[in-house]
Amino acid sequence: MTTTMLRPVRTLAAKAADGLIWLIALIHVLMAASLVVALLTLSDANAAEDAGCGGRNILAALEQSDPARFAALREEAAAVPNGKGLLWRIEGRGSAPSFLLGTMHVTDPRVLAMPAGAAAAFAAAATVVVESDEIIDERKASAAIMMRPDLTMFADNRTIDDFLTPEDRLRLEAGLKARGIPLPLVAKMKPWMIASFVALPACEFSRKAAGTAFLDKRLAEDAVSQGKGLKGLETLIEQLSAMDSLPVEWHLRALIDTLALGRTIDDVIATMTDLYLAGETGMIMPMMKAASAEIAPGDLGYAAFEQRIIIDRNRTMATRAEPILKEGKAFMAVGALHLPGKEGLIELLRQQGFTVTPVQ
């Protein structure tokens, strides 16, 4: 019998395609997506009921069912530069040390606790740097988003219905209803915005709807309350533009595929979160690529996602962070998927002359 890279995910093959995997990564790497969920809370009733988090670690299951394949995946992840560690020390250029924290834009209490040493590094910082400092004021953030409706909403009289088959419409309607969201209320939204809701596990959506700040937002709020400087590396519009640059067909396929998974999506997200908490940032994308290959071999759309959502933004962040880091005593927090890799933020900072080392 033929073995597979991710046997636990193989059962999803009839239900989903590659767009799902990159959608989940997108939700966790792009702050604007998390903020949209917070800004567009649709049900106070859901907010009051904090659903329990579920999901199993698919890699843990793989290790038991196919140790050789698991070892191969581990070997691939080990080859990713800077693929271990969440907190990094930045030195050089004649400045006082700064720190870089890889985050997830979620409200999971385990993520909010941050890794050892991060709280002390934050406390000592004079300046806190996040992806976008606009998240500190939800009203202004909402106004900024609404100023560019073309990035989030269909123009003219189009709605999501114009892109759906009758069968897919039923699936979308049922999936949203399960989350307390009537389809007519979001029908003008582009697929990625709707996906911002359905790609999150119920517990995460519930906490955000109740007003719990995701990690980056909480750090920004704490910086302001403690009198620290707060700076952003991107605008929310730049983030939304990156999201919108991917074809609508890609987003729509990802949305429908996500709904097809039902609660199984919790397994993928649980695995991503477990890898993050273990500091295994270099393992996240190989795991997702392997899962995608099992679901839909061929053109996975990964290259476009990685280039536009991760690599291009890494370069922008590094360029804008350089003068801040030269001043020293900064605490920079960005999505963890921006850290590892040959074109990751850590390598880009080293190319600028900084010494970047993991904090054990």
pLDDT value at 256 more than 50: yes
Instruction: List the beta strands (DSSP E) in the chain.
Output: 87-92, 95-103, 127-130, 229-232, 330-335, 355-358
Tokens of 164: 């759906």
pLDDT value at 357 more than 90: yes
Band of pLDDT at residue 204, cut at 50, 70 and 90? confident
Contact 259, 17 (CB under 8 A): no
Query: What is the average pLDDT score of the chain?
Result: 81
pLDDT at 17 (0 to 100)? 37
pLDDT at 106 (0 to 100)? 85
pLDDT value at 14 more than 60: no
What's the whole-number mean pLDDT along residues 5-25?
44
The DSSP symbol for 189 reads: B
pLDDT value at 276 more than 80: yes
Q: What is the pLDDT of residues 179-198, one digit of tens each?
A: 777 888 889 988 888 877 67
pLDDT at 267 (0 to 100)? 80
Q: Identify any residues that bridge with 230 across adjacent strands, giving them in sequence order.
A: 128
Q: What is the pLDDT of residues 136-151, one digit of tens each?
A: 987 888 888 888 888 8
User: For residue 242, which of 320, 190, 307 has the smallest C-alpha distance?
Assistant: 307
Identify which has the larger pLDDT, 306 or 113.
Answer: 113
Percent of the chain surpassing pLDDT 90:
38
3-class secondary structure, 242: helix
Contact 26, 250 (CB under 8 A): no
pLDDT at 11 (0 to 100)? 38
Band of pLDDT at residue 301, cut at 50, 70 and 90? low
3-class secondary structure, 153: strand
In this prediction the pTM is 0.85
Percent of the chain surpassing pLDDT 70:
79
Tokens of 265: 């999506």
pLDDT at 115 (0 to 100)? 95
Residue 183 CB-half CA count within 13 A: 14
With 0-12 / 13-18 / 19 or more C-beta atoms within 10 angstroms meaning exposed / middle / buried, residue 11 is: exposed
If you count them, how many residues does the chain have?
A: 360
What's the whole-number mean pLDDT along residues 101-120?
94
pLDDT at 212 (0 to 100)? 85
The residue whose two tokens read 């050892």 is: 116
What's the whole-number mean pLDDT along residues 160-164?
87
